[in-house]
Amino acid sequence: MITGEQKPLAEIKAKVKGYKKILVLGCGTCVKTCFAGGEDEVATLASALRLSFKKDGQTIKVEEQTIERQCEDEFIKEAAAKIAGVEAVVSLACGAGVQMVASRFPGVPLLPGVNTTFIGILEKPGLFTEKCLGCGNCIVDVFGGICPISRCAKKLFNGPCGGSSNGKCEVNAETECAWQLIVDKAISSGQLEKLAEYVPPKDWSASNAGGPRKLVREDHVI
Amino acid sequence: MNGSHLQQILDRGQFAVTAEVGPPRGSNVEAVRLKAAKIKGYVDAVNVTDNQTAIVRMSSIAGCAHLVQMGLEPVMQMVTRDRNRIALQSDIMGAYSLGIRNMVCLSGDHQSFGNQPGALNVFDIDSMHLINTVKTMRDSGKDMSGFELNEAPKMFIGAAENPFADPFEYRVIRLAKKVSAGADFIQTQCVYDMKRFKDWIIQARDRGLTEKVHILAGVTPLKSARMAKYMATKVSGITIPEAIIKRMEGVTKEQAAAEGIKICLETIQELRQLKGVHGIHIMAIEWEEKVPEIVQSAGLYPRPSLK
């Protein structure tokens, strides 16, 4: 899933300032799962904004709506009526949803309310961790199912560096060293010597470095 | 033979001595000239660091070029943190054209340790890839695309290894990878934990690696008990046994520097007895003026003369 984190209230408030009527638009898929932009977060943010402006002696009308996915036109359409009646939209979707809504309603200022963070997993309740960089060419099998491209601070293909200590990364003592995990896995499966093989440099052209990517499924094109 | 004095010494089986000089934080190279003048003649080659600890300094390549002008042999450190493969290959060619004959391939300290932690790191390739790239450029005269170069950079290729980092059981396998990738010599992280270093060199010997690559053990003289504790706790990848910290604490502030040099000399003597250690790399951090004293007291002076 794509994870995101809601921006601090003060930052959202500063963006909203000056508008009399806004819509807080939630997204019911990824950002809902990570508690950044689903119905609950929309309601909480809307109340917080109303209260905060009221404290300042200002009134603001805050509409609320959450659609299934802001990255698909089919769902965005459902928000058209509300968007038509406001001066600006605070989107709690990821960067993809924000841009989709912005392009669909070019006349309405679109304010991002979420910082999109990473492609990751729900490791345990309340903890999401990064697992994929979307590099476009998966070779995770070489590393025993642990991706050093997304999980090593130096993206080492032939790690670990000299900063691996007691299983942790030197960059952050709370982060597991991906290469320690890779080596542990290799030892437990009796394949440590396989890690003696040189892993060649990556062809990054399939990644974002090759330019914004497109995925075409001819069989689904209408 | 590529004209590297360091390579000649190691290939002849003589015990090599290298040191390290950090470039200045600015465009005035005078400090490098002063440091270099002090150690000239006492070491076989001098490493010039590449924006170490991710703090911006004069480029390693420029620092090396200044040393060449002064008649010292430089070892250019090159990290993959700041440049992609295009820039790295270009700088290797440029370095060779400036008379630089040795280099050490590193990944580099993560930018979060420097004073510009907001920088974007590159890590297009890692240190292993860089070793292999230099080797390919040198031995087949081709760049990474396979394009034939008009002249191959005949570098003597170095790499780093840290016997004190984890996972220990993989360290020597990784060393073997570096050797296969093309490393001619290795400079290690500074040795304080002799037991662990010995365990490591034994493993390296058992794999036949010490026959294939020249290992230069790193040493850093401690200036004070504070420095010892700082390095033991704050610098990752360095272990300092409690006994050494106690020794540094057991002397007065005024005697601490002398004690640090004494420990360093004892370490060097022990390292010289180890089969498979082919030299030492003295990293006297902001203490370069002590290098001649260390080399002399260790009985490693005079150095073999240039051919």
pLDDT tens track for A137-153: 999 999 999 999 999 99
How many domains, chain B?
1
The answer, for A177 touching chain B at a CB cutoff of 8 Å, is yes
The pLDDT of residue B101: 98
Tokens of B171: 């360290």
Residue B236 CA, chain-centre distance (Å), reads: 17
Q: Do B170 and A167 touch (CB under 8 A)?
A: no
d(CA A219, CA B223): 70
* CA-based nearest residue to B5, from B80, B67, B89, B88: B67
Q: Do A154 and B132 touch (CB under 8 A)?
A: no
The number of beta carbons lying within 10 Å of the beta carbon of residue B262 is 16
The answer, for A10 touching chain B at a CB cutoff of 8 Å, is no
- Asked whether residue B48 is assigned to any structural domain, the reply reads yes
The pLDDT of residue B307: 54
**Distances in whole angstroms, Cα of residue A57 to Cα of each of A10, A149, B129, B296:** 16, 50, 62, 78
Instruction: Classify burial at B249, counting beta carbons within 10 Å of its beta carbon; exposed 0-12, middle 13-18, buried 19 or more.
Output: middle
The pLDDT of residue B306: 63
- Asked whether residue B302 is assigned to any structural domain, the reply reads no
Q: Do B123 and A158 touch (CB under 8 A)?
A: no
- Residue B167, preceding peptide bond in cis (omega within 30° of 0): yes
pLDDT tens track for B158-215: 999 999 999 999 999 999 999 999 999 999 999 999 999 999 999 999 999 999 999 9
- Asked whether residue B44 is assigned to any structural domain, the reply reads yes
Beta bridge partners of A89: A23, A110
Among chain A residues, the shortest Cα distance to B177 is held by A196
The answer, for B160 touching chain A at a CB cutoff of 8 Å, is yes
- Asked whether residue B28 is assigned to any structural domain, the reply reads yes
d(CA B118, CA A25): 31
* CA-based nearest residue to A114, from A135, A99, A133, A129: A99
d(CA B74, CA A91): 56
Please give the span between the terminal C-alpha atoms of chain B, in angstroms, as a whole number.
12
What domain range includes position B79? 5-222+266-297
- Asked whether residue B164 is assigned to any structural domain, the reply reads yes
- CATH code for the domain in which residue B97 is found: 3.20.20.220
pTM (2 d.p.): 0.96
- Asked whether residue B81 is assigned to any structural domain, the reply reads yes
The answer, for A185 touching chain B at a CB cutoff of 8 Å, is no
Beta bridge partners of B105: B78, B159
The pLDDT of residue B237: 84
Q: Do A171 and B110 touch (CB under 8 A)?
A: yes
User: Which domains does chain A possess?
Assistant: 2-118 (3.40.50.2300), 135-209 (no CATH)
Q: Do B165 and A164 touch (CB under 8 A)?
A: yes
What is the residue whose two structure tokens read 């932009």? A37
Q: Average pLDDT in the A18-41 region?
A: 97
Distance from CA of B92 to the nearest CA of A (A): 18
Beta bridge partners of B114: none
Give contacts of A158 with chain B, Cβ < 8 Å.
126-129, 174, 177, 181
The pLDDT of residue A202: 97
What is the residue whose two structure tokens read 């605070």? A90
Task: Report the largest interatomic distance among the alpha carbons of chain A, rounded to a whole angstrom.
Answer: 69
Interface of B with A in 37-76 (CB under 8 A): none
- What ipTM did this prediction achieve? 0.94
The number of beta carbons lying within 10 Å of the beta carbon of residue B141 is 15
Q: Do A162 and B189 touch (CB under 8 A)?
A: yes
Q: Do B107 and A154 touch (CB under 8 A)?
A: yes
What pLDDT tens digit does each residue of chain B (307 aa) get?
578 999 999 999 999 999 999 999 999 999 999 999 999 999 999 999 999 999 999 999 999 999 999 999 999 999 999 999 999 999 999 999 999 999 999 999 999 999 999 999 999 999 999 999 999 999 999 999 999 999 999 999 999 999 999 999 999 999 999 999 999 999 999 999 999 999 999 999 999 999 999 999 999 999 999 999 999 998 878 999 999 999 999 999 999 999 999 999 999 999 999 999 999 999 998 899 999 999 999 999 999 986 5
The answer, for B167 touching chain A at a CB cutoff of 8 Å, is yes
What is the residue whose two structure tokens read 């942790």? A168
- Asked whether residue B254 is assigned to any structural domain, the reply reads no
- pLDDT band with cut points at 50, 70 and 90 for residue A41: very high
* CA-based nearest residue to B71, from B49, B101, B41: B41
What is the residue whose two structure tokens read 């396979």? B146
- Asked whether residue B307 is assigned to any structural domain, the reply reads no
Tokens of B52: 């170490």
Cβ contact A10:A4 at 8 Å? no
